Amino acid sequence: MSAILLDAGLVHYEVIGRGKPVLLLHGWLGSWRYWMPTMEALADGYRSYALDFWGFGDSDKPGNRYSLDDYVQQVEDFLDGLGIAQVSLVGHSLGGVVALCTALRRPQRVEKLALVDTPIWGNGLSTSLKLARSPLSRLVAGPRAQIALWMRSLKRVSAAWSEMYDEIMEDTEKLDYAAVQQSLECILNLDLRPKLGQLYTHTLVVYGERDEFVDPEQAGFFADGTVATAQVVLLEGCRHFPFLDEPSKFNRLLKEFLASQLGQVLTVKEEWRRRYKQVEYL
């Protein structure tokens, strides 16, 4: 277990491997632990870092630092604290939003960007998440019901990942419910569509074809040519956690992207075709 003290508090993170730096950012209700299989897969060529956002996992719970801007600042301060000038960012869900906003705000710091099941427009979130913002829902159900919904989704992932289910549950019990509600509100109010034309970072966009939380049709915001540097892939049969549903296949795709050059078309290997559906490469 590693930690770094920033001006805003203590950030817990884990680090594996040697090579060029990659920072993995977890999703809503998540923690660094979701990324363990991916970090292990990258260890032979990359130095992978995975942190806990404010209010999640073992990082501090400052109470008033749960906005997207706060999380983007956390990422920047984390990189500064470790002396990392440039990094590849991999973000899932909420973490993808933070990664995208970081690339838009500090493009010189982000070498490559991988967005996994990332909401671009809050209107594309599931009805259950939209209802969670209502006063009645908060009164009757509250964050615990939202967490239960999330954990039911996790139960559908690979059997290998289920072995860590108890540890995942321990991480969710450490959540600050203020972070749960405030970060969800930020995502529901999100609309990054007008800013996508300002993204020039080499980008991989991945959605699970059966994502039950984020509409995979949001991939179209990248596949329509607005982001000339983006490559879009739908993962057939995967839900909101493709890196857990099909870890070996997802990790091979990610490694190929991290090793690729801008403009290079990723090759979907023949043995991947049962699970991978190539939508469009730009």
| pLDDT tens per residue, range 188-217 | 999 999 999 999 999 999 999 998 889 999
Dist. CA 140–CA 105, nearest whole Å: 38
Q: What percent of the chain has pLDDT over 90?
A: 60
Dist. CA 25–CA 276, nearest whole Å: 23
Q: Of the CATH numbers 3.40.50.1820, 3.90.420.10, 3.30.70.260, 3.20.20.60, which one belongs to the domain with range 2-281?
A: 3.40.50.1820
Measured CA distances, 242 to 54, 78, 245 (Å): 24, 26, 5
Looking at residue 139, its pLDDT comes to: 45
For 103-121, b where at least 16 C-beta lie within 10 A, e where not — what string?
bbeeeebbbbbbbbbbbbe
| E-only strand ranges, 138-220 | 202-208
What is this structure's pTM?
Answer: 0.88
Element housing 153 (H / E): helix 143-154
* Phi, then psi, of 113 in degrees rounded to 5: -135, 125
- Listed by start position, the domains of the chain span 2-281
Residue 135 has pLDDT above 70, yes or no: no
Looking at residue 274, its pLDDT comes to: 40
Active site residues: 93
Among 9, 15, 13, 21, which Cα is nearest to 70's?
9
